[in-house]
Amino acid sequence: MKQIKVYGPGCQRCETVAQMVKDAAAKLSIDAEVEKVSDPVQIAMAGVMSTPGISVDGVLVHAGGLPDVSKLEGWLAS
């Protein structure tokens, strides 16, 4: 199971990214646990300088803005 974290304060963009991750995982039939992290200390400790951020299995793969869907699917598939 992939462990995915979406980092952000809870803004609309962060909610959209969380839904994009869930949709991409479902499309690819990937078993994924998606956790939303809104604590500023945890966000900073993860190295996210601009939200929303995404980590897959502990590796930060994206920070700032909405990710490209094809890139998101690539992160989840690898």
Known active-site residue 14? yes
Instruction: Point out the catalytic residue in the list 4, 14, 21, 43.
Output: 14
Tell me how far apart the alpha carbons of residues 43 and 50 are, in angstroms, rounded to a whole number: 9
Catalytic member of 10, 11, 49, 74: 11
What single string gives the DSSP state of each residue in 30-70?
A: --EEEEEE--HHHHHHTT-SSSSEEEETTEEEEESSPPPHH
The edge-to-edge listing of strands for the beta sheet with 53-56 is: 32-37, 2-7, 53-56, 59-63
> Hey, which residues are catalytic here?
11, 14
